[in-house]
A and B are shown apart, each in its own frame.
Chain A
């Protein structure tokens, strides 16, 4: 068999791409299920003090007293409870079910010293992202893989409150709570060192980082 130079080049390129793909730097980030669990915990919390008297803001209290939802955090929208939807938001910010997973994740970085986001793979600008705060506060309908910035969520909230049909009311409230969950995801990411210093970390080549 004659090995042509062209074939060698093709194989070389493919192997190089595979290696680069495999060695995409990974970070020690929060699992999507962890985001979901944190979101649900917060949404269900009553922040009670030792004598059992609730204090401060609680979602349950707010929904009951300000929005007239008698079931509070356990109110169902589209067959899911409010805290479940908020939990799902924690997942969808990384893995939107309607598009390629993790495309939004490159916007989950913020270095507070210089307000910069993810600088890109391998020290280049490839796959560069927006700073997380700018991503969260993006103008309406400017995000990709779903519109879930703070400004989008405010619009959903307004549409839910002014909806004239039950279906619209439920849909927009579900979108509101999911969006809140997605923004909570961004805040939770700020608890991860790698997310706040553009610090990529490959745990397959080195020992696991214990935070």
Chain B
């Protein structure tokens, strides 16, 4: 019976291993980047940067699989406007594979997110993991290899100033669903502070 169980486990392993890049092990490289003012091109200190690590269900039923947040970390930029996240490795469930890490970037008085010249949220992982900051580079799209490669300055995000109240309200990013100040204390404090500045009555937990 032991042999049969071993055989069964091997069959399961083969099926799942072929469907995932790294089954059971979730691993992401270190991320580095620099945040600058879009107008002055000067580095911005104290920008809160949140990295959100996602996994993806392998088999999810007739609606297809989906992504889930497995971890979120936060940090602030230093005097050079630079941030750093060490590499992250953890275990995943057997019905999961790795998905892209995504980033939330916010500073009071600025528009959040990125700039039109950055490659967008789904390539942000590559954008910040080349180990290069401020030099021109090319990024390829893994999902659609025939897509035109992105070319631009790697690892640098330009933030534009938010001028009106409406722009400032729109700039406040939402925390990942079900994440509170327990997991992301700096981020939640800062977005609540901006909400209070703009006269909002409630606050994120």
Contact = CB atoms under 8 A, between A and B. Distances in A.
A79 B204 contact: yes
A91 B57 CA distance: 14
Contact of A76 (B8, B180, B199, B203): B203
Interface residues on B, range: 35 or more
Interface residues on A, range: 35 or more
Interface in A4-40: 7, 10-11, 14-15, 18-19, 21-22, 24-29, 31-33, 36, 40
A121 B62 contact: yes
Nearest to A76: B202
Interface string A80-112: 110110011001001101000111111011000
A38 B199 CA distance: 26
Nearest to A70: B201
A62 interface: no
Interface in A154-180: none
A71 interface: yes
Contacts of B54: 33
Contacts of A74: 169, 195, 200
B63 A24 contact: no
A109 B205 CA distance: 36
B66 A94 contact: yes
B66 A18 contact: no
Give chain B's interface secondary structure class.
Answer: loop
Nearest to A104: B63
B64 A26 contact: yes
B170 interface: yes
Contacts of A200: 62
A87 B63 contact: no
Given A91-B177, A208-B143, A127 B202 contact: no
Nearest to A108: B63
Interface in A125-151: 127, 129
A26 B65 contact: yes
A71 B200 contact: yes
Given A18-B12, A22-B19, A76-B203, A127 B62 contact: yes
Interface in B132-169: 143-144, 166, 169
A32 B62 contact: no
Given A75-B202, A79-B202, A29 B4 contact: no
Given A31-B66, A44-B170, A11 B7 contact: yes
A102 B63 contact: yes
A27 B62 contact: yes
Contact of A105 (B63, B178, B205): B63
Interface of A: 1, 7, 10-11, 14-15, 18-19, 21-22, 24-29, 31-33, 36, 40, 44, 46, 70-71, 74-77, 79-81, 83-84, 87-88, 91, 94-95, 97, 101-106, 108-109, 118, 121, 127, 129, 200, 204, 208, 210
Given A106-B63, A127-B62, A208-B144, 4 more contacts: A18-B11, A87-B174, A101-B57, A101-B61
